Amino acid sequence: MFFFLLSLTIVHQAVPVAVRLSRRRFGQEHTPQADTTYQAVKDIAKGTNKEEQAGNLSGAMVRALLAKATTCDQQDRADEIIDLAISLGGERKKKLIKVAKKYRQLERNTPKAGQPSALCHKPPRHKELDGLVQAQDPTGKPVHSGKGKKKDPGH
Ligand SMILES: *[C@@H]1O[C@H](CO)[C@@H](O)[C@H](O)[C@H]1NC(C)=O
């Protein structure tokens, strides 16, 4: 029995790719893609009088991708990135709008792997975000329409 369990353990360790695939469904708030957007917001605002606002927004962006965040937090933060973009203008505006769109489409954490995250049914404030939704865990089932309505605070 001991050897049987031992060999199971060895087999398990021999498939680290499968283990990583199931694990990576958690922690979507700190994927390299997500981290790039947090950093970009801070970097683009650097040297302006909006550095502190960008730092705060960056932290709020992390929290909006947590499983416990409310349905529209991710979209609200994306709208705020565009507010910041407009207040800075020029090249910074263009760059931040790209970041906002990318951030809006990041996968969000759900309490369980494979569980779809609810969609926000409130329209975004900025037209640049029209029609954009977060990515879903490709190992999960498709989102049922209307799923986000019950818990949507902004509707
Ligand atoms: C950033 O957050 C801190 C702490 O919550 C707050 O005191 C400060 O006013 C915020 N700054 C801006 C520019 O929003």
For residue 142, what pLDDT is reported? 60
* Ligand 1 binding pocket includes 33 (Cβ within 6 Å): no
Where on the phi/psi map is residue 27: left (φ > 0), alpha (ψ -120 to 50), or beta?
left
Residues 37, 39: Cα–Cα separation, whole Å: 5
* Ligand 1 binding pocket includes 53 (Cβ within 6 Å): yes
Residues 36, 96: Cα–Cα separation, whole Å: 12
37 C-alpha to center of ligand 1: Å? 20
Does the pTM of the predicted model rise above 0.85?
no
* Ligand 1 binding pocket includes 52 (Cβ within 6 Å): yes
Where on the phi/psi map is residue 47: left (φ > 0), alpha (ψ -120 to 50), or beta?
left
pLDDT tens for 8-41 read: 444 444 444 444 444 445 677 889 999 999 999 9
pLDDT tens for 95-150 read: 999 999 999 999 999 988 888 999 999 999 999 999 999 999 888 766 554 444 44
pLDDT tens for 46-78 read: 999 999 999 999 999 999 999 999 999 999 999
